[in-house]
Structure 1
Amino acid sequence: MPTYNDNILCTTRDELVACGISASYINRALAGQRKGEVYCWEHHKQGKQVYIHYHSLKEKYQVLIKAVHCNKLEPEIYLKQEQVEKATAVFENLADQVSLLVSSNPEEIKYLTETKLYTPSEVHQLARAAAWLRLINEYDVKKARKLGFKSVNDFRSEVFKRCLNEQTSSPALIRFKKTLITNVRTLVKNAVEYKNNGITSLIHGGVGNVNREKTDTVMHAKLVKLASEPVKYSWEDVAMMYNDWALANAKPQITTSTVKSYLNTPKIKKVWFYARHGKHAADNEIQSLINRKTPSFPDALWSIDGTSMQLYYVGVDGKIKSDLYVYFITDACTSAIIGISIAFAETSGMVTEALRNAVDTYKYKPYQLQYDNSSANVSVAVKNLMSNMSRVHFPCEPYKGRSKYVESIIGHFQQRVLRHYSNFKGGNIDVKSLNSQANPELLAWLRKNPEALPDRNGVIEMLHDAVAKWNARGEKRDSFGRFVGQSKIERYTTIQHEQRAELNYFDRISMFMVEQRLPYPYGTNGIVIDVKGEEHHFIVPDSDNVGDFMFANDNLGEKFKVKIDRDNPDMIALYRDGIFIDFAYNKERYAACVADSQPGETARRVQFKQKQVEWGEEYSKRELEKQMIKLGEMQATGTEGFGWYDTSKYNQNRREAALEDAQNGMGDGLTDKQRRILRIGK
């Protein structure tokens, strides 16, 4: 649908006919309109074509036009879409023409090649970049409009888009002097510089005598060798030694700033940094980082590690000390510290105690455990415990503190909470910031006034207080510095998730029961295990909790795999062939003298002795008698073989008498009933 004076929508006679209106009716209406007989449809004429104004048509005709010609859109919207599509098609056609206008200058290619500063591919990249800049300078307003653009800015904008695409393509088709050009203004600025200075405007000023290792491989090798020395020469010394070498080998000298700039370009820095500073430092300094999402719910990941307490205290000998070690259990989702243990060194027992503290305090277990490769963490007992507690557990890469959440949490805890205490030692030895270090004058005052320091129990209470303060901190601070939002520990305890389940008492107890390496036999004293120098006897008690006669009766001498919590050896779990059998508990001990007897102990001891008799000789006699009874009478049939049945004492006596007669030669050893069954004598 065309327009008239850019604001009146029009339709043609043919378009109305296509909508189902009679052609003759349209002709009569238009003729009557021109003669002044009627006045219903506004229209105008261009050449021989008549254009009827859309707004003067009746509503029913407008509905038809929208349905047939405008895709059921309002005509104004339909026209706008057509204009945009038409303009886009024209613009794309123009943009394609722009790329065809770019051509490299052979003289510039020759000049760049003769500098010996660039590889052939780099030469062509720079020459094509110069061609784009030359194109911007050649086209003013008139030329841009003649090409079909409304303004020179539209032309330059399209040139910028093409340049950006060629810069970011792989491999890049063009390159400029410095960094990636990301806006039209910078591109035009480069074009002006190119207009004034030519191709030299694209050669970086820092190239000087050395651009890259491709410039002169010997010069490059010498610089890299000096920079990579593990004695770590200063940049001034590197420049001095290089220039002495350059004079002796007819090479150009270079300034210290050029040496430093060249060697610190990312690609070259990676070559010498490892040899100069070592693998671990280089990995942490220049290796790319993996962006990780924070775990989505509490207990998804527990990150654990130990460190020195960083608090001074006064020992029992009156000396100032800082020899305590703290093991932290942290939740990576909320940064809460949910468990700690304190000792003089990191041991497997310390790790176990910290994990137990977390489980007992909040009654949850982790989905995954993250830790380092210290000997305490990778001991068999701790690894078995971690397998009990979590679905997944494995150590982080060694010497990469960035990979452990706990490193960051401990660092922030020390600098934002522990530093509030006057006896804070400051950060670790490798901390560089003055704000992270303790005030030396304050430390000197503490040395002179040790009574101001807490004792060992006091410093332990201080640490627990610091953990509580850390956990009470909100997620953010407001403009006045106050913490706002839920605290770390509130978030840890209140966030619900389908994979979080509160542990019951039995789960918490059994979680710390770790499988022992060797099996244990079940003897007359049950299973005997030495725990921290103390001998424990574990039995599976009878239902009345007196002795283990029933279990021992079936399992005496059998060997079992055992799981035990060595810190709380109250019970053990017995397994055979990987199948759980039962729990065994510490065997009850009875007083050796009357004076030590406890209430009710005498009755249990009497009951125990009765069960000894019941399950000893009497049990043996009962079972033996059952077996003899089973042998007392044998029934034979023609088809079913032999069967064994219990018999009465009377019949058993008769059978034994017949056997005795047979031994004495007085009979065949059969009873009358047996003879009848076997049909003997008939």
Structure 2
Amino acid sequence: MPCISENIICVTVPELEKCGMKINTIKTNLKQQRQNLVYCWEHHKIGNVVYIHYNSLKDKYKNLIQKELCGGLSIEEWIRLNTIRELLPPVRQDEKEELASFVITREKVDVTSGEINSEERTKLPDDHICLLLYQSRWLRLMHKDVYKYNNKTLKRFHVKTVKEFRCICITLANSPSPEFPNGAKLPKNYNACYRRQQEYEQEGIQALISRKFGNTSSRKVDDERIQILIDLYSDPHKPDYVRVTKLYNEIVLQNGWMVKDSPAVISESCVKYNLNIPEVMQVWYLARHGTQAWKNLFGYTILRYKPSTRDAVWCGDGTKVNLFYITPSGKAAKLNVYAIVDAHSGYWLGWDISEEADNIGSVQRAFRMAVTRSGYCLPFQMQYDNDGSNNYFKRLTTLHFPAMPNNGQSKIIERCFKNLQDQHMRYADGFTGMNIKSKNINNQINEDFIATLDKTKSLKNKKETIKLQEWFFHVVNNTPGKDGKTPKEKYFGSQNPDTQQLVALDWINMFWEWNEKECVYAKEGISWVENKIKRVYEIAEGYEFDFRNDVLPERYTPSADFACKYIRQKFYIRFDPLNSSRVALYKEEADNSRRFVAWAIEKDRMAYAVQDYKEDEKTEINKRLNIKKEQQKRAKQKREAAASLMNSEEIMKLGYKFYDKATLSAAEADLYGEKTEPIEEKTSTPKKSRKEYLKERRDKLNNKL
């Protein structure tokens, strides 16, 4: 669009192309102007953008720009209006929340008592809220402080008074826009609009809500009757139309409601008609049939398409393993599976199968498997049920969001589970059938067939059932879809440049756990008890943890430096629940944070008897003996360095250093039978004040004189 650059009205090359000019013509004219062959087409360049001076163009080009870009207005007028429009402030969040929570109320007569009560009807429609917010933006723009702040800019466009500025704003506000074809619907009269602005500044956004909005007084009688019908028909005992009609007519007769001098009784067909009005039906349907039934019929549904690339969204959820297996006590189906699927490809990334339903450990193991199989990538988003077991996902540093509880439509994984069971697992001998709430008989279990399998001992055991469930995941991953590609091919054939690659710190934060109490690094190393098993660890020279390919050294050299520096100090231990052969040591800081110090590996055990020595074991034992010697050597060196600072002949004369000189002299004289004079302590002359000093000095001068 035309703009002002360096105080000159300019247009750009793409804008001239929109007007219908050919790019070759524009480039030729600009080139001729730079060669001084023509005097029009003046321009300047800022960065890579060429700004063509509007006033240097011929009239035919000016008219074309005004027609195509400025809507028929002169370019000066168009820039003036557009500059004022750009001053429009944004929507205030507090006003948006206030309108969203506003509830329309009206008076309602209680048919049983005759009292007039205030009834909450409904909230403001979303389109009306948007219109009110649009009006508030223009009213805030018309404030005199806005005019004062932008005074210099507005004067450049010949806007000299606040009233003139407000009149332009009223015109712009009521003009059509892409979002509001009918404009802001502000009063076109200046005085009326100014009064509306004052009301808005004093009372806030609610001053803009029309007093007539939501008025249903013309339907007052009908509404009262419908309210009675809704209340009767909403009963969860689910009365039929006949009973509701009878009860309603009894209420009419008791209260003496009349229509044209006769009781206002109604027929069964009238009750049925009124209750099945869609607006009324969604009111009683919730109480009569329950939340889930109401959602299935009236709940708003968003149409969404699958993510465009892998690792954009991972979905996690748990369900029953619908397979019977044999236990020592008989037939059972107690296994649960927590699985994670990629929403883009439908590729099953990770799973964990156990008898515990959706516990944190199962979620963690499934997610660990998913991260490993993805090539150590983190998803951009993680979708999961909002229950206690999924608190594990709060460890993720990337975006994570819970799905709506009990709403299968909000989770892609629900459809993946349905496809897994319906297309593949149903052909297993021990299949228990689909969801027990399913009404399709083809999804129900054949009890006779399962009883035959149990009798002939054809069912698998628990271990075989777990393996079979895992096999089904792999079958789905390698089954071509309608497009001829398998989920595995879709997943590994896609690339997502925005996913985050895992580093060692991410791996530890997500999959390692903390020891509850601090442990002391003693002379034998640092030890702690896990599942009633005592484990001892020590620091090995040169060992660094690699979460992708962690290989512990068969033979290592213990770190003498660490033993000398951190002996008898306390550490928190962080460990891998699936591999306790190495741990991480952390020290607690003053602010209660924990600082990583070193990696420790499980300590080797050496043979006690020479007969039990293995190859190179003597060398390993000597390494550890040398560490003990090194510790003693360093302790002696540090002791000698400290003693050299205190090696004074006077202080160390009797071999003691914790006594003053007078005490040492007296003890020495007594030891050798010598008489010594007590050491006189020097007394310090008290310092004179300045006043006393000046007086003494004057006295001396007076004596001399």
| Category of TM-score, reference length = shorter chain | 0.5 to 0.7
Equivalence for 1:255: 268
Instruction: Give runs of aligned pairs for residues 217-232 of structure 1, distance below 5 A.
Output: 217-232=223-238
Specify every segment of 5 or more residues in structure 1 that has no aligned partner in the other structure, as ranges.
1-67, 72-167, 171-211, 477-483, 634-652, 667-682
SS at match of 1:311: coil
Q: Percent identity at matched positions?
A: 27
Deviation by residue 1:514-564 (Cα, 9 ceiling, x = unmatched): 345655443444443332332222332345933343213222343444432
Pair 1:395-2:407 in alignment: no
Give the deviation of 1:487 after TM superposition.
Answer: 0.9
Equivalence for 1:308: 320
For residue 602 of structure 1, the aligned residue among 603, 607, 618 is 618
Equivalence for 1:587: 603
Give the deviation of 1:298 after TM superposition.
Answer: 1.5
Letter of the 2:634 partner, please give it.
Y
Instruction: Give runs of aligned pairs for residues 526-537 of structure 1, distance below 5 A.
Output: 526-537=525-536
Cα RMSD, aligned residues only? 4.0
Q: Contact 2:326–2:461 (CA<8 Å) still a contact in 1?
A: yes
The number of residues matched between the two structures is 429
Structure 1 range deviating more: 336-345 or 290-299:
290-299
Pair 1:298-2:310 in alignment: yes
Pair 1:622-2:637 in alignment: yes
Letter of the 1:309 partner, please give it.
V
Equivalence for 2:561: 550
Give the Cα–Cα distance (whole angstroms) in 1 for the partners of residues 277 and 612 of structure 2.
83
Q: Contact 2:341–2:347 (CA<8 Å) still a contact in 1?
A: yes
Equivalence for 2:492: 493
Equivalence for 1:437: 444
Letter of the 1:583 partner, please give it.
W
Q: Contact 1:235–1:260 (CA<8 Å) still a contact in 2?
A: yes
Decide whether aligned partners of structure 1 residues 614 and 455 sit closer, same or farther in structure 2, where only a CA change above 3 A counts: same
For residue 462 of structure 2, the aligned residue among 447, 456, 469 is 456
Give the Cα–Cα distance (whole angstroms) in 2 for the partners of residues 604 and 560 of structure 1.
27
- TM-score, length-scaled by structure 2: 0.53
- TM-score, length-scaled by structure 1: 0.55
SS at match of 1:454: coil
Structure (1/2) with the larger helix percentage: 1
Equivalence for 1:376: 389
For residue 572 of structure 1, the aligned residue among 578, 583, 591 is 583
Deviation by residue 1:295-330 (Cα, 9 ceiling, x = unmatched): 23212222111111011222244x221111111111
Decide whether aligned partners of structure 1 residues 416 and 659 sit closer, same or farther in structure 2, where only a CA change above 3 A counts: closer
Give the deviation of 1:439 after TM superposition.
Answer: 4.0
Give the Cα–Cα distance (whole angstroms) in 1 for the partners of residues 327 and 219 of structure 2.
61
Deviation by residue 1:3-27 (Cα, 9 ceiling, x = unmatched): xxxxxxxxxxxxxxxxxxxxxxxxx
Give the Cα–Cα distance (whole angstroms) in 2 for the partners of residues 597 and 277 of structure 1.
78
Larger Rg: 1
Decide whether aligned partners of structure 1 residues 656 and 248 sit closer, same or farther in structure 2, where only a CA change above 3 A counts: closer
Deviation by residue 1:416-464 (Cα, 9 ceiling, x = unmatched): 22122232212122222233333455445445x4433222233223212
Give the deviation of 1:352 after TM superposition.
Answer: 1.9
Q: Contact 1:360–1:508 (CA<8 Å) still a contact in 2?
A: no
Decide whether aligned partners of structure 1 residues 656 and 373 sit closer, same or farther in structure 2, where only a CA change above 3 A counts: same
Give the deviation of 1:623 after TM superposition.
Answer: 1.3
Give the Cα–Cα distance (whole angstroms) in 2 for the partners of residues 583 and 443 of structure 1.
53
Letter of the 1:530 partner, please give it.
V
Give the Cα–Cα distance (whole angstroms) in 1 for the partners of residues 369 and 284 of structure 2.
47
Give the deviation of 1:467 after TM superposition.
Answer: 1.1
Give the deviation of 1:496 after TM superposition.
Answer: 1.0
Decide whether aligned partners of structure 1 residues 600 and 240 sit closer, same or farther in structure 2, where only a CA change above 3 A counts: farther
Give the deviation of 1:502 after TM superposition.
Answer: 6.0
Pair 1:540-2:539 in alignment: yes
Equivalence for 1:366: 379
Give the Cα–Cα distance (whole angstroms) in 1 for the partners of residues 292 and 516 of structure 2.
36
Give the deviation of 1:411 after TM superposition.
Answer: 2.2
Letter of the 1:288 partner, please give it.
Y
Q: Contact 1:341–1:351 (CA<8 Å) still a contact in 2?
A: yes
Decide whether aligned partners of structure 1 residues 316 and 294 sit closer, same or farther in structure 2, where only a CA change above 3 A counts: same
Give the Cα–Cα distance (whole angstroms) in 1 for the partners of residues 293 and 520 of structure 2.
52
Decide whether aligned partners of structure 1 residues 288 and 338 sit closer, same or farther in structure 2, where only a CA change above 3 A counts: same
SS at match of 1:298: coil
Give the Cα–Cα distance (whole angstroms) in 2 for the partners of residues 234 and 596 of structure 1.
89
Letter of the 2:395 partner, please give it.
S
SS at match of 2:283: helix
